[in-house]
Amino acid sequence: MTIRVVIADDQSIIRAGLATILDAQPDIEVVGQAADGREAIDLALRLRPDVCLFDITMPDVDGITATRQIAGPDVVDPIAVVIVTTFDTDENVYGALQAGARGFLLKDAPPDQLAAALRAATRGDALIDPAVTARLLDRFAATERAAAPRQPVDPLTGREEELLISVARGLTNAEIATEHHISASTVKFHLNGLMTKLRARNRVELAMWAYETGRMPSTGAEATRR
């Protein structure tokens, strides 16, 4: 199966670089490129790619708005979106996740991580840059904690609590399975249960909830895990 991708970034050299990296992958094809959010929305709705790779800071319509329009909670047939951003200057990643993005990476992420993020998004999974997970989600979640985060439909089990923390740390399903000595299918079973209990659409929202409820430390130590 070939993963069809639409790229949106207002810098032509970035778009070209991303396209070159992705087209070099045997299972990924860049089917469209956009220089702004409005063009990105039009391309996504017309081409229906498997996943979109959006920058946040774009003219006309920004990446957050574009993400909300094609992947937001009110979209009947959402398209997967992965955000690429620069941590030091971008204050809007948390908003992008709320808008429906399945994951995000820093722009200096290695090519294999970029490709892995797109593959994960097409599976309904997500790959979150570990450095951003600890440093950025915690930063924005402090504001959300004051707003009484939503409570689960049913209490979380001990195993679900453990796996929730692993998700928030940015671990993949395979890494979670290895760390907890369980099968990948068991990981998926528990994560599906978590999403049902927390009314979360994907593992990114699980990570957000973990930060919002203070389940993750604020030291940022996890940012150095990899």
Decide: 15 and 9 in contact? Cβ < 8 Å. yes
Give the pLDDT confidence score for residue 57 in this predicted structure: 87
Burial of 52-70, coded b for 16+ CB within 10 Å and e otherwise, reads bbbbbbbeebbbbbbbbbb
Q: How far apart are CA 19 and CA 217, in angstroms?
A: 37
221 has pLDDT over 70: no
More reliable by pLDDT, 181 or 113: 181
pLDDT in tens, 78-111: 999 999 887 655 566 677 777 888 888 888 888 9
Give the pLDDT confidence score for residue 68 in this predicted structure: 95
Which pTM does this prediction carry? 0.72
Task: Kindly report the average pLDDT of the chain as a whole number.
Answer: 84
pLDDT in tens, 130-152: 666 655 565 655 555 555 567 88
Give the pLDDT confidence score for residue 22 in this predicted structure: 96
Q: What architecture is domain 3-127? A: 3-Layer(aba) Sandwich (3.40)
Give the pLDDT confidence score for residue 159 in this predicted structure: 94
Which one is the CATH code of 147-224: 3.65.10.10, 1.10.3300.10, 2.40.40.20, 1.10.10.10?
Answer: 1.10.10.10
Comparing 132-141, 152-161, 171-180, the range with the smallest average pLDDT is 132-141
Nearest to 165 by CA among 107, 100, 209: 209
Please state the domain extents for the chain.
3-127, 147-224
Give the pLDDT confidence score for residue 36 in this predicted structure: 95
Classify residue 132 as left (phi > 0), alpha (psi -120 to 50) or beta: alpha
Neighbouring residues of 52: CB distance < 8 A, sequence distance ≥ 6: 5, 6, 7, 8, 40, 44, 70, 71, 79, 80, 81, 82
Give the pLDDT confidence score for residue 153 in this predicted structure: 81
